[in-house]
Amino acid sequence: MKKILFNVLALVLVISVNAQRNDEEEKGLGFRQENLFLGGSLSLGFGTSSGYSSGNKFIIGANPEIGYTLADWVDAGLVFNVIYSTYRFTEANIRYRQTAFNLGAGTFIRIYPISNFFIQAQPEYNTIKYTEKNLDQSGVPVISQKVNATSFLVGVGYGQRVVGRFNFFTVIMMDLARDRNSPYRNYYNEAIPVIRSGFNWYLHPSKKKR
């Protein structure tokens, strides 16, 4: 997993450098304040599992981010996670409820192959506190544990984006990594679809429409 994250980060860096270099060559400019944006999104995730342990998982969270438009077709930046999830499942005819709260951070890159539609890649590292409770047997102690997990979210999205002004977007992603502790996977380590919708605004709005 560390190798995957390293390769992704290296790819992001190469694309970012090349995109910025091309943009500078076209416009004769370096860092542009109007390309810096701040914002975030809300997350929703849901999934079910069946078999020996059947259940339903629900995820909700907030994801502040800061980024930079490297070129008209690519954005990159940092994202932070505050996520709460619940997982109700049945095992050996006994019902359990597992809740989790996690904090994390990662990087993202959004590539716009065509106007308004984008592909997003987002490696993350999260610290999660799990609490599990037996709902059918009284007197059973609550189990708590704290774990760390890596994830690699990849997905496609749609946005109303005006570089230098604002960006409203919605994206659906899946965790391609296989860390069992990932907040985006269920009991059987199956990826759960995650939907994020948010808004970014540029810190120094451009007066020119691009």
| Residue 41: inside a domain | no
Three-state secondary structure of the chain: CHHHHHHHHHHHHHHHHHHHHHHHHHHCCCCCHHHEEEEEEEEEEEEEECCCEEEEEEEEEEEEEEEEEEECCEEEEEEEEEEEEEEEEEECCEEEEEEEEEEEEEEEEEEEEECCEEEEEEEEEEEEEEEEEECCCCCCCCEEEEEEEEEEEEEEEEEEEECCCEEEEEEEEEECCCCCCCCCECCCCCECCEEEEEEEEECCCCCCCC
- In tens, the pLDDT along 149-173 reads 999 999 999 999 998 899 999 999 9
Domain count within the chain: 1
| Residue 35: inside a domain | no
Which residue matches tokens 């990594």?
177
- In tens, the pLDDT along 87-123 reads 888 877 888 888 999 999 999 999 999 989 999 999 9
Domain that holds residue 96: 2-30+46-202
pLDDT in the model for residue 25: 46
**Cα distance between residue 156 and residue 24, in whole Å:** 28
Closest CA to 144 of 183, 96, 98, 187: 98
pLDDT in the model for residue 159: 92
| Residue 208: inside a domain | no
pLDDT in the model for residue 54: 72
| Residue 114: inside a domain | yes
- Please report, for the domain that includes residue 165, its CATH number: 2.40.128
- Say if residue 70's pLDDT is above 80: yes
| Residue 112: inside a domain | yes
| Residue 38: inside a domain | no
pLDDT in the model for residue 148: 96
Rounded average pLDDT over 183-191 = 84
What are phi and psi for residue 14, nearest 5 degrees? Answer: -65, -45
| Residue 145: inside a domain | yes
| Residue 79: inside a domain | yes
- Say if residue 80's pLDDT is above 90: yes
